[in-house]
Structure 1
């Protein structure tokens, strides 16, 4: 197989330090959610939202537990865990967002959700975006709306911090506008505290020149469109300046003026484009940089999620301290009592661990002592066997000197030899 070519001029190599700072995620489904096909498809759509820094082809098994993924998340550099689960008794779907390696964990109740295929069905002009599309090569632009960070609600500040750290931060000086092709909009309703997740694809279109002139040009090239009636106009300027002179009311496909923005050119202009005025008489903006007007349109690609925050826990496991609960409120006295109990439990846990460590160390010392004794005994036996073998050699040599000199010629056969020995 041929080696894949790597570009060196246009592709910038990312250092290991920068790669370590990029947030990575794993989207899981555990428990009875494995049998819910609709929830399984929701997990796949949610993985597309978290692309490209996520495990898109992750496969779970019924035997897998949360601890298995927590153990594997460390070597893989995973910073966020999104866990979907469905209770067998009530059928309610929940979502937990955990920060690695020590928490916190945010628990949400999924009030309702819509899959990406359901969103495409209700759109007049849908946009099909798969996991291998060009829009998935860069993380989405995160937009938070309705969150009160300046308030005294500490849990909301923590929620905003966790949501902001799901994706790598955007640097205005180095980030190219053309690379941002998706938007993840998270909106909080202040009346009922419900959180809406919406996922959009960004479509841009060059807008240069007058819209009425464009309509005239399109009517000239398209024979099905009739030319505008010029009998009611006194001057050609009325046709160009009046927005309702051609076409009347604008359609849904037309771009509104509010959606037009000026974007700096990121690619070098050709000689013709440099001579052509872009913005104003000189073709430059106030900063002297060539710009172009583009119309921005958002197309929803799904999925949709309606969430409600239930509680915030300190660690990833369910037995940790609860920092916030939406339905249970505690007084200051009850909070102090819970803090005391939690501290006592932590102290007892630390004592048990210390005791277990001491027991393990004692067993290891006994094991080492037994090994040392066995080794010493083995060395002593080998020394004794060596001394006995030396004594036997000395005895054999002395017995050989004292033995009579018997020659084979003295006996005709072996039977004579044995007979002499018996006598």
Structure 2
């Protein structure tokens, strides 16, 4: 039999795990999205929808239990190179959404005013357009109106941007940009609105009949003798082309997925909302991971003296925590040292007892005993008699009397 395999250190496992993956995947920001608090089926669906937004760099099938704590997910974040965590917390009065920067913070807490699930958004749209291939690549992030006084706006915008991988405009493949996530800030109401769209490119400058043929649709040729008559017919002029905004027309630098979207041709970019929708308000920013100094609070304002007192209190708690950890490590080391001393003392006592027994045997018998004689006695004496199940005790007097058999 081979020896036991030595376990690797978590840091070495993480380094090996990152080395086995491409740099684009290993360096991209990954996220955990979970929900806490009271159980609600709508919050569970909202959590799943938000995971779809964060695809493909998220745990889409993450299983969480009530017994799991935030520390459990933080401990796993280094192995899976998770950089952010989103938490939907359902309380009796409100729903909050927290964004954590792992592993040391900061932590942003939002109050969710309204939300709409993805299935409701898609059912309300007139032209439903969704494709599973759109979720194979990260979405494009658009930030709107995050300018103004206050460092909290800049920190909020930076946090939203860092949750998604950055795009290199010189090397990006336009065909991979199939989704768009927009965060819009309203300075009057202090609300942040999140919208999620799928991006579609449609050729421009073609008649409606030609667009049907290009897209692979089978036209109705009952009233036409040949295909040319169907294409040149006046009644089939494009109605949507007149309604399209010219600002959405772009000249394609690369060939995109979809018929007619060739390199150098003119196409119109259309957005189809696929949900979910979120309307939230920033309430609090904490320096650490859901702990530490409060950098910003929307409802409470404190003076510099009160802030200084809080800093001293936090520093005092931190020092007490470090002192407790130090005492615990010292106690462990002292207990381990005592155990080793006791084990050595017992070994020495057993050795001296064996020597005394061997000397007595040699004195009485007149010859030296075998080496394994007292070792076997020690092993047999160390064996304990197994206990009967149910704390039953054996008694000789409780034997059942034998039945007398009559002789025939």
State the TM-score, normalized to the length of structure 1: 0.71
Q: Quick check: 1:306 aligned with 2:279?
A: yes
Spell out, residue by residue over 1:83-125, the C-alpha distance to the aligned partner (whole angstroms, 9 max, x if none): 111113x2x1111111111111111000000111211222111
Alignment correspondent of 1:22: 28
Query: How far is the alpha carbon of 1:379 from its aligned partner?
Result: 2.8
Query: How far is the alpha carbon of 1:376 from its aligned partner?
Result: 2.2
Alignment correspondent of 2:139: 140
Change (3 A) 1:219 1:25: closer
Aligned positions, number:
334
C-alpha distance in 1 between matches for 2:192 and 2:368 = 99
Change (3 A) 1:352 1:247: same
State the TM-score, normalized to the length of structure 2: 0.73
Q: Quick check: 1:328 aligned with 2:327?
A: no
Spell out, residue by residue over 1:175-208, the C-alpha distance to the aligned partner (whole angstroms, 9 max, x if none): 200011000001101111100000000011233x
1:390-401 to structure 2, matched below 5 A, reads 390-392=362-364, 394=366
Spell out, residue by residue over 1:138-176, the C-alpha distance to the aligned partner (whole angstroms, 9 max, x if none): 01111111112xx55222222122111111111122220
Query: How far is the alpha carbon of 1:61 from its aligned partner?
Result: 2.4
Alignment correspondent of 2:169: 172
Equivalent residues of 1:112, 1:306 under 8 A apart: yes
In structure 2, stretches of 5+ residues that fail to align are: 1-18, 214-218, 225-233, 370-408
Query: How far is the alpha carbon of 1:305 from its aligned partner?
Result: 0.1
Alignment correspondent of 1:344: 316
Change (3 A) 1:395 1:224: closer
Query: How far is the alpha carbon of 1:79 from its aligned partner?
Result: 1.6
Change (3 A) 1:363 1:68: same
1:227-306 to structure 2, matched below 5 A, reads 250-251=239-240, 254-265=243-254, 291-306=264-279
Q: Quick check: 1:72 aligned with 2:59?
A: no
Change (3 A) 1:251 1:293: closer
* Aligned partner of 1:364 among 336, 339, 354: 336
Equivalent residues of 1:176, 1:266 under 8 A apart: no
C-alpha distance in 2 between matches for 1:305 and 1:291 = 37
Query: How far is the alpha carbon of 1:15 from its aligned partner?
Result: 4.2
* Aligned partner of 1:193 among 190, 195, 198: 190
* Aligned partner of 2:119 among 104, 108, 117: 117
Query: How far is the alpha carbon of 1:16 from its aligned partner?
Result: 4.8
C-alpha distance in 2 between matches for 1:216 and 1:391 = 118
C-alpha distance in 2 between matches for 1:217 and 1:358 = 81
